[in-house]
Each structure stands twice: as C-alpha cells, then as structure tokens.
Chains A and B, each alone.
Chain A
C-alpha cells in the first residue's frame, strides 16, 4: 500500500488503523479494555507520551497523525512486561514494534531519530560483516547523530579491557547474510540507494 492509498483508506474506514495493525501483527487492539496494566508496568512510560494504553486508544480512534509523531514506541525497550501482564492477552510489545515499522513504511519521520539511526547503523554492520562490530556501530551512530564524542570515555576503557575489537569479525558466509537481508521483505530500507529496493 502506498502512502496515498493508506491515507485515503484511513479516511474511508474508521477502523483502518486497527485493521492494519491486526493484519501486520495478528494483534487486535480492539480487545483492549483500557485497564492500564501495560502502562503501570512499563519501564519507559514515565519518560514518554503517549503511554502504552493511550497508544492502544489512539489506534482505536484511527488517529494515525498523532501516532506518527509519538515517542512511545521508539522508546519501547521490548521488555515484554506489558505483554506478559495484559489481561486481554494482547501482545502490546508486538504492536509497538509494528508501529515503528508503520511509521517507516509510510515514509514518516521517526519522532525519535536516534533510535531509528541506531537500528540502521546496526543493520549496516550486520549486513557488511555478518556479525555485529560493536566499535563500528558506536562510531557510526555517533557520526550520524552528530554526537561524535558520545561514549568517548568508555571507548578507551573498553579497549583496555579487551572488550572492543578494532577490527570486525567477518563471517565466512557474509555474502549469504547480505543476500538474506536484501531478499527479505521489509518496510524500511537498510540504507538509501537502489540496491536496497523494498521487498514485496
């Protein structure tokens, strides 16, 4: 579905968002009874708006616009506390993750760019080496988020303890890993540019 189609669909069908989430994650947010347990146990909720139960309500209200600018699901640490406790057995954490993908798919600006940047940098490292090269990920993230000195104090200490390698571990089958990442269906491109056309 293109951006225009999804917006048009949004206007026609008052349940468009809820149904889209259902299709993508298998979770029906309509079952939510607004008990607030998800928010009560959420470790990041004190730092963000809207809270998890409010996110559920926004989906039901078909309010894609508010959700596009929301921070909650970018802060979500995927701890699954909400999912473990929801009395209606909604996998809330899966819904949060689906919202991240939805925003990217719709071409929206993530409300919390640093999280999205980290994900991108991480995947690039994975695609290039087949494993994660922690030093590369941290340096690259710093460059891309414009905070070159972040963790600067930690770096040398980690080297000292032999915890950060300067050279990446390359997996022998890394060409295959690259193929897997390129062939797989996804919403977001790992990096801009033609070799990375989105799947489907």
Chain B
C-alpha cells in the first residue's frame, strides 16, 4: 500500500539526509512512499505567530491535495509539519464552520479522511518492532544512544508517545541491537527556531542536552526532528566554542540507526552531510565483515 509522504521544507534543504534515509528505510520494508504533489510549506511557527487562519489553511491545502491524490495515510517525518498538519486535520471533524472557511481560502475541499503519522508512530504501528528486529543484520552492539525527543511528545495535537516518559525511540534503538542510555534531558526543549533569533538561549539549551548525554556515557544522540538535529549537530561547534567544552557527539536520525543495523554504509546514510562526523562511532558500533578492529577502550564515565 502506498503512503502519502510530506517531506516539508527542512527535509528538502538542511535535513536532506533525513529525507534520504526515511525513503530508503521505507523501501527496505516494502513500503511505497508517494510524495504529496506540489506541496507547500506548512507555515511553521511564523505563520502561527501571525495568524490562526494562515497557519491552518496552509496545511489544509496539502491535506486536500493528498486526499485528491487518493491517499489515505500520510507520513511527515518533521514533527513541526506533522503537528501543524494534525491541528489543521482536527478542524475537519471538529469545527464545521472553520472547515468551510478553510475550504474557501484554499479553493478546494478536504473531507478529513486522512490518517497522519510521524516517523515514530509509523515505525511502531505500521512497520512494527518485530519487523525491525527481523531485518537486523548488523546489530548495533556498542551503540550507547541518548534518544532525544525534545518537545515532540508535548505537542497536544499529537499522541506520539507518553508526554513525560516516552519510550518509543529507545525501543527502536534496542530492536536494532543498540543500547539506550538513561539521561535527564530526553524531553527538554532544544530551543527550536530560537536559534535564528535568540541564539544565546538556544545554545544554552542545546549545550545542556549534550552535556547530560555525555554524563550518561552516550556515544551518540538519536533524534527524529530536523530542528533538533540542526541545533545539536550543526551548532555543536558553536556550542563547544561558547562553553569551552568538547562534546563531539554524533547526532543520528532514527532512520539512519535502523538502516545502520541493516548494514547500510556511511555514504548511503548521508553521513557526509553531518557536521560532527560519526566515524569513531561507526568503529565501535558497526561490525565490519573484515578487519574487526574493535578498540574497546573502557573509559570511566565522567562524574562517576
């Protein structure tokens, strides 16, 4: 069965490797993704900050398009897009007058029949942990992942996981043979788009997350959001400079983790696009066919 696919603006630019690996992952599970034709930006926070109608109408237009395409399930890997789409979708069954107004604005009509998924509930509900486990050829022994949810579970239009104590990302990492560390900042905010306006606040928040992951002995962070990835990976150098601290913590998308456990190489995973190179991580995590140079240096965890 074909799933509608809404990549969104970030996955078309700063988060290309997320787009690439979500598609590759779906293919490996035999899921066909069909991009929503001619999609437009969901409006994100700025549209919401300026007008309720604009921020509902922009996703509405995409939803109507997906429905017109004959799709009935839509996957959007970006939590922000997914949240805005879900808020808009809720209008279809909740507020008839507003729905009519959105139809009028968008010069189209949306019947509200779609089912919307973020990557995390897509993996759990549509693929399933068993199927993920069954496909593992290179168990990620040695991976100590700090799974980072940020504000994903708080978005009230979504019910991706438990609000305060989510587990779904950890479960996927463990299904791939990796280990998930327990740490304090799994659901703390990374600062989101504040990085473009209030950079000091955003760097402080992201630094706290990286530090907490480091204290817990993580050798990578795992995320399911292009904004989280941008703040933790792209800005990591700036964070290190500001706080005079060396983190060098590779940040992986969950889709990359799943593919990694299936033996997919660094090139196809888009690691070239990362700012913090996951090279050293790969040496510990990955079980290469030849030359097993497993250097297991046991470093005592800082602060222990």
Is B193 on the interface with A (CB-CB < 8 A)?
yes
CA distance A158 to B159 in the complex (A): 33
Is B27 on the interface with A (CB-CB < 8 A)?
no
| Contacting pair B156 A83 (CB below 8 A) | yes
| Contacting pair B50 A180 (CB below 8 A) | no
CA distance A75 to B14 in the complex (A): 23
CA distance A97 to B43 in the complex (A): 15
User: Given that A80-B156, A122-B44, A126-B43 are known contacts, is A184 also in contact with B57, CB under 8 Å in the complex?
Assistant: yes
| Contacting pair A112 B196 (CB below 8 A) | no
Question: Which of B107, B193, B275 lies in contact with A77, CB distance below 8 A?
Answer: B193
CA distance A80 to B87 in the complex (A): 14
Chain A neighbourhood of B275, CB < 8 A: 157, 161
Is A141 on the interface with B (CB-CB < 8 A)?
yes
| Contacting pair A132 B197 (CB below 8 A) | no
| Contacting pair A130 B198 (CB below 8 A) | no
- Interface-forming stretch among B168-176, B184-192, B292-300? B184-192
Hey, what's the 0/1 contact readout for B87-121 against A, CB within 8 Å counting as 1? Answer: 00000000000000000011100000000000000
Chain A neighbourhood of B193, CB < 8 A: 77, 118
CA distance A67 to B187 in the complex (A): 29
Chain A neighbourhood of B45, CB < 8 A: 78, 119
| Contacting pair A77 B194 (CB below 8 A) | yes
A73 to chain B, nearest CB (A): 9
Q: Which residue of A161, A171, A172 has the most chain B CB atoms within 10 A of its CB atom?
A: A161
| Contacting pair B197 A81 (CB below 8 A) | no
| Contacting pair B39 A171 (CB below 8 A) | yes
B227 closest partner in A (C-beta): A77
Chain A neighbourhood of B10, CB < 8 A: 134
8 A Cβ contacts from B38-54 to A: 38-41, 43-54
| Contacting pair B196 A141 (CB below 8 A) | yes
| Contacting pair A80 B197 (CB below 8 A) | no
Chain B neighbourhood of A32, CB < 8 A: none
B127 to chain A, nearest CB (A): 27
Question: Which of A100, A131, A164, A186 lies in contact with B40, CB distance below 8 A?
Answer: A131
A146 to chain B, nearest CB (A): 14
Hey, what's the 0/1 contact readout for A158-200 against B, CB within 8 Å counting as 1? Answer: 1001111100010111101101110111111010000000010
CA distance A123 to B45 in the complex (A): 10
Q: Which residue of B187, B188, B194, B200 has the most chain A CB atoms within 10 A of its CB atom?
A: B194
Is A44 on the interface with B (CB-CB < 8 A)?
yes
| Contacting pair B39 A118 (CB below 8 A) | no
Chain B neighbourhood of A130, CB < 8 A: 40-41
8 A Cβ contacts from B5-34 to A: 9-10, 12-16
CA distance A99 to B275 in the complex (A): 37
Q: Which residue of B106, B189, B272 has the most chain A CB atoms within 10 A of its CB atom?
A: B189
| Contacting pair A84 B163 (CB below 8 A) | yes
CA distance A162 to B106 in the complex (A): 33
B53 closest partner in A (C-beta): A184
| Contacting pair B14 A84 (CB below 8 A) | no
CA distance A84 to B200 in the complex (A): 25
CA distance A138 to B9 in the complex (A): 14
User: Given that A118-B197, A184-B57 are known contacts, is A77 also in contact with B16, CB under 8 Å in the complex?
Assistant: no
Is A115 on the interface with B (CB-CB < 8 A)?
yes
Q: List 7 A-B contacts (CB under 8 A).
A: A81-B154, A122-B44, A132-B9, A132-B44, A163-B13, A165-B13, A184-B51
Q: B residues touching A (Cβ–Cβ < 8 Å)?
A: 9-10, 12-16, 38-41, 43-54, 57-58, 61, 105-107, 150-151, 154-156, 163-164, 187-189, 191-194, 196-198, 200-201, 204-205, 234, 272-273, 275
Instruction: Name 20 extra pairs, CB < 8 A, besides A119-B49, A141-B197, A171-B40.
Output: A47-B198, A75-B198, A75-B201, A78-B192, A79-B151, A101-B51, A115-B198, A118-B197, A119-B50, A120-B46, A123-B47, A130-B41, A134-B13, A154-B234, A163-B16, A164-B14, A165-B13, A179-B107, A184-B51, A185-B51
